């Protein structure tokens, strides 16, 4: 037992402590947004790599709610004397209480050990995988073939880029700017090695080599395209180079699986995640988008429910000319983007609180760590010692 009075603390969009009760409540809120569609018959086996946060968490909850069983893999920090466990640790503990016949592994998804553990668990308990969802966002990766540690960077390519930014000073929104120098070739390559499709392919190869791909196997890697407003730092930058590699990997995997399965990238819409808050201009863009889109702004759980409906044949599979499954049509609707651009070009520190949903954005950032979740008593002591779910 370890009861503590907790405060968020932190710097910028990073917080020191997670709130166990708030993290659990945030999972409950997501769970309640998904309609239960469990049907009689065989329950498909799902593997979600990156299951504790963002779209990966939403994909896990939606899969379980729709009747799947399987494995979630994530890499989370336990409690220490100075800090709570990570928010993803507490979210996973709550997720395990809600779902039926799931196992959660705390392991570095990039490492061969995680793949070996999953293969063993599948062989002993679940059998072949019907669906593999890959949703990993990490700052670094060690290449298992070479032992080299690659570190990703968030930089433009070719030319420097000055981005509008949104920060908070004592919770007051401030619009500023940040100039980023272009990445060199080594930085671009490292980012591709971390955030591209190399590890996704290793997961598919590990399952295939062990004979653990079910007939009609489907794998999907989550990605993002975004607006022309953020393209210089995102789609046309180092991250974009990695996403292009991810899409090429999808085509290679799809050819490799021909006659046995299929591979896609799934383009989700904008969301407030730990990965997205690290990208200059994304905070301001997403805040404006939420104000402009209003009820059209789709949650991660709604988008992942739509993904599963398409992948399982409940709904028509909607792909673009590049073969990508698109869930971001609400974000890139021309009228929405035109109105976002109008606000983007005129917004200032004096008007940002009225023209962008800054309060909503700040609440979303807090909720990533279990803070600012409606209905949670933050004055009460919290039990911070929570066990990782047992197999």
Q: How far apart, in whole angstroms, are the C-alpha atoms of residue 244 and residue 156?
A: 15
Q: How far apart, in whole angstroms, are the C-alpha atoms of residue 58 and residue 314?
A: 18
Cα dihedral 18, 20, 24, 25 in deg (nearest 10): -80
Backbone φ and ψ of 73, nearest 5°: -120, 130
Of 131, 234, 285, 369, the catalytic one is: 234
Secondary structure class of 70 (helix, strand, coil): strand
CB 384 within 8 A of CB 4: yes
369 is catalytic: no
Hey, which residues does 133 pair with through a beta bridge?
48, 220
- Name which of 339, 311, 372, 384 is nearest 13 in CA terms: 372
Full DSSP string of 240-303: HHHHHHHHHHHHHHHHHTTTTEEEEEEEE-----TTGGGSTTHHHHHHHHHHHHGGGPPPHHHH
Q: What does the longest C-alpha to C-alpha distance in the chain come to?
A: 60
Q: DSSP state, 125?
A: I
- Name which of 39, 242, 31 is nearest 155 in CA terms: 242
Q: How far apart, in whole angstroms, are the C-alpha atoms of residue 267 and residue 235?
A: 12
H, E, C per residue of 147-210: CCEEECCCCECCCCEEEEEEEEECCEEEEEEEEECCCCHHHHHHHHHHHCCHHHHHHHHHHHHC
Q: How far apart, in whole angstroms, are the C-alpha atoms of residue 328 and residue 307?
A: 11
> Where in the sequence numbering do the catalytic residues fall?
234
């Amino acid at each position: 037992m370890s009861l503590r009075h907790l405060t968020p603390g932190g710097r910028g969009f990073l917080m020191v402590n997670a709130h166990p009760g708030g993290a659990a409540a945030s999972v409950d809120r997501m769970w309640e947004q998904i309609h239960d569609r469990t049907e009689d018959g065989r329950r498909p086996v799902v593997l979600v790599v990156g299951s504790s946060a963002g779209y990966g968490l939403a994909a896990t909850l939606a899969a379980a709610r729709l009747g799947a069983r399987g494995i979630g893999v994530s890499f989370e920090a336990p409690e220490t004397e100075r800090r709570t466990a990570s928010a993803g640790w507490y979210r996973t503990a709550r997720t395990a209480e809600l779902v039926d016949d799931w196992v959660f592994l705390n392991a570095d998804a990039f490492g061969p050990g995680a793949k070996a553990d999953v293969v063993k668990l599948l062989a002993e308990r679940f059998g072949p995988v019907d669906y593999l969802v890959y949703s990993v966002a990490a700052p670094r990766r060690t290449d298992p073939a070479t032992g080299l540690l690659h570190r990703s960077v968030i930089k433009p390519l070719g030319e420097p880029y000055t981005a509008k930014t949104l920060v908070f000073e004592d919770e007051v929104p401030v619009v500023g700017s940040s100039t980023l120098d272009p990445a060199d070739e080594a930085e671009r390559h490292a980012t591709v090695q971390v955030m591209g499709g190399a590890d996704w392919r290793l997961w598919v190869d590990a399952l295939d080599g062990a004979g653990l791909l079910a007939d009609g196997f489907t794998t999907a890697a989550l990605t993002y395209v975004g607006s022309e407003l953020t393209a210089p730092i995102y789609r046309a930058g180092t991250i974009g180079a990695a996403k292009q590699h991810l899409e090429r990997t999808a085509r290679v995997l799809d050819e490799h699986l021909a006659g046995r399965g299929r591979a896609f990238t799934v383009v989700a819409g904008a969301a407030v995640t730990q990965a997205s808050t690290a990208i200059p201009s994304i905070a301001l863009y997403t805040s404006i988008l939420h104000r402009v889109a209003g009820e059209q702004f789709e949650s991660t759980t709604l988008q992942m429910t739509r993904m599963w409906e398409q992948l399982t044949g409940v709904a028509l599979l909607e792909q673009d000319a590049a073969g990508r499954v698109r869930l971001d049509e609400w974000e890139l609707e021309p009228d929405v983007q035109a109105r976002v651009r109008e606000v983007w070009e005129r917004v200032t520190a004096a008007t940002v609180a009225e023209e962008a949903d800054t309060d909503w954005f700040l609440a979303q950032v807090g909720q990533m760590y279990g803070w600012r979740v409606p209905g949670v008593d933050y004055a009460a002591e919290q039990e911070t010692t929570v066990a990782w779910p047992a197999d």
